[in-house]
Amino acid sequence: MFLICAIAACLGTIYALRGGWTSPLKTTIIGLDPQGLGISALAVILAVVFFGPVFGLSIILVVVIHEFGHVAAFRVAGHHDASFRLVPLLGGYAISNRPVDTQEESVFITLMGPAICLAPMLLAFALAQISLTTFPAAYYPLVTFASISGALNFFNLLPIWPLDGGKLTASITSVFHDRAPFYIFATTSALIGLVAVLSQSFFLVFLVIMTVQHLMQTGGSDGRAPYRRMSKKRALICLGAWLFTAAALFMGGIGTILRFIS
């Protein structure tokens, strides 16, 4: 039954991104120069060395799937020039030369990065259970990939700038109140700053700096212009999709999340 649900999720993802799997234009991958390739290869090696081959390669695979989700969503929205930019040591991000037209379009493109990982996560968990009796050696790689997929994408959906969750916060909450993104970012920055001090995490400090810089530049209101504002009813639907995706990813990634916070 779990496998059937996972396959249904895969088919649903394929349907949701229909028209986005291919493009009439050649997809541009920026960053394939010798220096970029060398640093990217170093990133893969470091991930394998620090986290182990299965864990490290799973992280790389999850990042690639995540970024393709953004590219496919761009294509669905008519941005056939969407390209995948490689960022050595950081992963990558999808870009388009044409700005989005509406908040709904912005939310769809932003959310599909984490959301596209739901189906592979569920399928990996389902296949892992089957592998226990058919091919036990595949169990650990499948569960590791699935858990990392859930954990990384759940973290990415938190209301923190410049993560996807921060962009969703700006796009969705500004519909209800122009200053809502500012208040949310200010609160999350304070909480993350407190956790950063207690845990002495330089990465969390970096996130706080990025968010504060964003607030100083935009006031946390960049979810309004230049997009056409969506209705509050559609904003609630988008909010529900965001929360459902985050909850599902959290459940799938709970093992990896507990591993790194315990």
Q: φ, ψ for residue 228 (rounded to 5)?
A: -75, 130
pLDDT given at position 89? 44
Between vectors from CA 118 to CA 117 and to CA 121, what angle results, nearest 5°? Answer: 85
- Give the pLDDT of the chain (262 residues) as one tens digit per residue: 777 888 888 888 888 888 776 766 555 555 455 555 565 666 667 667 777 788 878 888 888 888 888 888 888 888 777 666 545 444 445 566 677 778 888 889 899 999 999 999 999 999 988 888 888 888 989 999 999 999 999 989 988 877 889 889 888 888 888 888 888 888 888 888 887 777 776 767 777 777 777 667 665 555 444 566 788 898 899 999 999 999 999 999 988 877 766 5
91-95: strand order across its sheet: 29-30, 83-87, 91-95
The DSSP secondary structure of 140-191, one letter per residue, reads: HHHHHHHHHHHHHHHHHTSS-TTSHHHHHHHHHHTTT-TTHHHHHHHHHHHH
Q: Where are the alpha helices (DSSP H) in the chain?
A: 2-16, 34-51, 53-76, 103-115, 118-134, 139-156, 164-173, 180-199, 202-218, 232-261
**What global pTM score does this model have?**
0.80
Rg, Å, the chain Cα set = 19
Q: What is the pLDDT of residues 195-210, one digit of tens each?
A: 777 777 676 777 777 7
Q: How far apart are CA 100 and CA 223, in angstroms?
A: 12
